[in-house]
Every structure is written in C-alpha cells, then in structure tokens.
Amino acid sequence: MIDVKNLTKKFGNILAVDSLTFHVDEGEIFGFLGPNGAGKTTTTRMLCCLISKTCGEAKIAGYEIGNIAHSLEIRKIIGLVPDNVGLYNELTAYENLDFYGKLYECSKKQRKENIEYYLTMMGLWENRDQSVGSFSKGMKQKIAVARALVHNPKLLFLDEPTANLDPESSKVVIDFILQFKKEGKTIFLNTHKLDEAQRICDRIGIIKTRLLTVNSPDQLKKSIWGNKTVIQLEEINNSIVTAVKELNPKDFEVVENKIIINVDNPFEENPVIVKAIIKAGGCIQYVTRLNPDLEKAYLKIMEEAK
Amino acid sequence: MRFSKVWTIASKDFKIFRNKKGILYSLIGFQVFVSIGLPLIIQFASTKTGSFSDPIIPRLINAFSFWFVIGAAILPTSIASYSLVGEKLEKSLEPLLATPVTDEEILIGKSLAAFIPAIISIYIGAIIFMSLIDIFSYKKLLFLYFPNWNIAVILFILSPLTCILDIGFNIIISSRVNDTRSAQQIGMLMILPFATIYVLSEMNIISVTVNNLFIISAIVLIIDIILFYLIKNIFRREEILTKWK
C-alpha cells in the first residue's frame, strides 16, 4: 500500500527527513515512533501530498507522490487525522462530517449512512446537532477520526490520535482503529505511546530524522534483549551457579535470588536448565520469561542513535 | 477547477458566518449608514440650500455614491479575516488541504465566501440609497436621478473590483497574522486610498465622473492582477502548512 524509497525532506538547510525506505502492506497497522522533531509529521505530510519531497520516491497504492495528477487520486483514497483536530467549532458534528463527505464527492445517501454509522459507533449520534465548539477534547478527537473515515478510505493516517485523551476515550479510538483493521484497511500511525504501539501495531518503524529500525513489536524487543528466562530460587549457592555455567549459556546473570539466562530456544533449553539447577540442590520457586517492554527497546535504540 | 467543490467550501463558510453576529452587524450597520443616513443628509442639505437643483446637491450625491466603493473596501475585511485567520486559529486548514481539492478551489471558495455577502449587502444598500434619493429629489428635479451611469460603473465595475482587491489584500494579511482582530485592523488600511478619493471629491479637487470612475477601475484592476499572482505564490499548501504562522 505504501512504498517509500530514499524519501528525503529538507527545509532550507535543515534536514527534516533523511532517506527513508520502508513499505507498508495492505491491511497492516504500521506504527511510526520517534521523539518530537524526528520527522514523523513531515513524513505523514509528504505521504498525504501536503508538502513536497526534496528527493526520493514514494507510492501510495501505486500512485506517485509529487505527481500533481496522482496527488488528487492519493487524497481520494486516504483519510488523515492530524495532530490538531482542526474541526469547525461553529458547525455541528453532523455539518462538519457532511462538509468533508461533500469534498470527497460522496453521494447524499452515502454521506448520511456513513455519518450515522460512525457517529453511532463513537457514541456521538445523540450529539450530532450540537456545535463542535461545545464538545470535550475526547469528543472532538472522535469526530476528527470519524471525519477521516467518512469517505471510506483505504488508508488512514493518524497523527497522535490518542494524545490528550482520557483512558476511556483512548480505548474507544483504539478499538475503532482495530475495527478499521478488521475491515482490511491500512493504518499508518504516528504515536508517542509505546504501550499503544505495542498493542495495536503489526510493525513499528523508529525514526529520528532517518529510519533507525523497522520490525514487529516482539521482534523489536527480541532484537534488543533476546529471549531471557528468569528463574527465581529460594536460595542461590556456588554449586547452582556452577551447574548453570556448565551448560554454557550465551549470557547469564544473578540478581538477588534470581538467575536471568539468555536462551536461543526457551522450549528446548529451559527444561535442561531447570533439571541442572534441581540436580545442584536448588529449590525453584518459579520460572518465567523476561518481558522487557517496548519502552526499554525504544530508549536503547534512541541511545544507540546518538 | 470544479465549481461544486468551490461552492461546498463557500457554503461551509456561510454556515459559519451565520453564527458570527459581528459579521452580520458590520454588513447591516454600514449599509444603514450609507443607504439611509446619506439620503437623509442630502434631504437635509436640500432643505438648507432651498433647491435640489443647486449644483452642490448632484455633486454631493455623486460623492456619496462613492461610499459604496468604500464599503467594498471595508465589508469583505471582516468576513475574509474570519474565513482565513479563523481556519488558521482552529487549525482546520490541514485536514481541508488533505482532501481532494486543489489550492485554487480552496482559494476561490474562500474568496467567494467573502465576496458574495459583501456584494449582496452593497447592492441591497444601493437599491435603498437610490430609491430614497429618487423619492426625496423627484418632486424638485422632475426626473429620477438614479439609475445613472455613475452608479452603474460604481456598482457593476468598481465595487466588485474593489471587493476582489480587499479580499486579496486580506489573504496576504492572513498569511502573516494570528488573530482576526489584527487582520481586521490591518485590513482596514485598504480604506485609505478610497477615502482619499472621496475627500478629494468633497473638496471638489476631483469629481466622481464616469470617466474618472473608469480610470480608477482600471487602476484597481491592474492591482488585482498583480495581487492575484502574489496570492498564487502564497496560497500553496506547503507554504500554508510550513510558513503561515
């Protein structure tokens, strides 16, 4: 759905985006993570044909960005939720969505059906005739998401869609994104929220002007931390440590009464380690997998990028 | 360019203006002053001079007719400042620019949203103004003073061109300021050249004749064309998203 090759953007002498290369498959949720000023919004704007590229190539559903005729076609098949909701406060929720439906050339019937569907889904149908200016931040954000979907786009760009939302509203938006994915649509998500990215993204790209890495959340964590098994013991003594050492593990450490071992294949290696510890007289309280969160992986990648 | 999209953008702005009482009051207030107030002054002046055929009265009527041009330089300001600076303040330009509309369609839609209410207001005011002048003057002149070529040139050539000039000027201002009040204050500067012409006509230094009105119209048209090319460079989506502060 999205193919990007060496995409670069400069503002004067400032390099905002440096030679990005990645692709996003149809039906995928692709998360774009990075600190402020990393180039996430600039990339989104280039892909939405809002600003020009300096060099490189990018295609959306086969249409080339930078080609004026293709730009209009790209805008027809995408929906954008920018970081600022940008709604018309003087208009009602219905009028806001209807205006965008008209710009996307949806028929009157289609507009009516879609607006009712999305407002009902967001729990805002009863508020359709209220001016958006009287809405809370969460309600406005939901309307902004509905606005991006009113024409049934194939590809949805979301720039920090849950920023400033309370947990309940965030959940509605996230559920909405997952529902959208179920319908086979593609989602490009800019976010700071690592837990959110971990939960809903199929793959994550980490950007800091240039793309540092792209992988699934699990692979990303694994590539940084590997598979680690934690074995909690009642007490640790030298014979237990020696028994573990004799297994020649890739890497292991002892923390209080825990042994943390790096394993390649936990299903084969864990039983062997457990047997060796018991044979050495160890009393195992529990065995678990170390689950480093995405935040640690992200911070490590950022640290390495420095 | 697709007119349906232009009209969608303009009608959205009309819906917004519906709730902005300030815009409505400025359109009505100005026209009440010009279309009712000025004929009453003429009536008062005629009773003082004793005769409507006194040469000062037709000159005064012609000079007062020029107020519609001044109106064309003022009225779009309040609308255009809401239309463009309002979008900037509500940060609604980015989602709008992400839709399949061209820069020209947005620009013309926004311009129409400012042009149509202003010109309608001017025309309604002019009808009332001409009717009152004719009512007050007919018995003394024994002919209808309006319509005449002067007012025709003012209403159908100079006023629309001045509206376009004012809208263009406001678009340029909107790209540089961040609140509607500043936009309106700077936009009001547009009144100065036309007010100067009016004062000069009152001082009998120039007269508001058809020929002079054509000359003024030609000058305004040239400035409109120059502004059009300036705006074309300012009103580009990349410029709007990255440089409009």
pLDDT tens for each residue of A168-192: 888 888 888 888 888 888 999 998 8
Q: Do B96 and A86 touch (CB under 8 A)?
A: yes
User: Phi/psi at A132 (nearest 5 deg)?
Assistant: -60, -25
Burial class from Cβ neighbours inside 10 Å (0-12, 13-18, 19+) for residue B25 reads exposed
CB contact, 8 Å: A65 with chain B?
Answer: no
pLDDT of the residue at B53: 62
pLDDT tens for each residue of A275-298: 999 988 889 999 988 766 777 777
Smallest CA–CA distance, residue A106 to chain B, in Å, is: 12
pLDDT tens for each residue of B120-142: 999 999 999 999 999 988 877 78
Q: Do B92 and A87 touch (CB under 8 A)?
A: yes
Q: Do A100 and B8 touch (CB under 8 A)?
A: no
- Which residue of chain B comes nearest to A75, CA vs CA? B100
Interface of A with B in 123-162 (CB under 8 A): 131, 144, 147-148
Indicate the pairing of strand A186-191 with strand A203-208.
unpaired
Q: What angle do CA A63, A201, A225 make, to 5 degrees?
A: 125
pLDDT tens for each residue of B57-115: 788 888 889 999 999 999 998 888 877 888 888 889 899 999 999 888 999 999 999 99
Q: In this prediction, what percent of chain A has a pLDDT beyond 90?
A: 47
pLDDT of the residue at A170: 85
> Which residues on chain B are in Cβ contact (under 8 Å) with A100?
95, 99
Q: State which amino acid sits at residue A20.
A: L
* C-alpha distance from residue A243 to each of A230, A248, A274, B74, B202 (Å): 16, 10, 10, 90, 109
Give the residue with greater pLDDT, B239 vs B213. B213
Q: Do A88 and B19 touch (CB under 8 A)?
A: no
Task: Give the C-alpha separation, A40 to A74, whole Å.
Answer: 19
Averaged pLDDT, A55-60: 94
The per-residue pLDDT of chain A, averaged, comes to 88
**Could you say which of A80, A86, A99 has the minimum Cβ distance to residue B91?**
A86
Give the residue with greater pLDDT, B45 vs A123. A123
Q: Do B19 and A75 touch (CB under 8 A)?
A: no
CB contact, 8 Å: A84 with chain B?
Answer: yes
Smallest CA–CA distance, residue B19 to chain A, in Å, is: 7
Q: Do A90 and B19 touch (CB under 8 A)?
A: yes
ipTM score for this prediction = 0.85
pLDDT of the residue at B203: 84
pLDDT of the residue at B50: 62
- Which residue of chain A comes nearest to B109, CA vs CA? A103
pLDDT of the residue at B242: 80
Smallest CA–CA distance, residue B86 to chain A, in Å, is: 9
pLDDT of the residue at A108: 93
In chain B, what are the domain boundaries?
Answer: 3-243
Task: Tell if the pTM clears 0.95, that is, is over it.
Answer: no
**Could you say which of A48, A90, A105 has the minimum Cβ distance to residue B98?**
A48
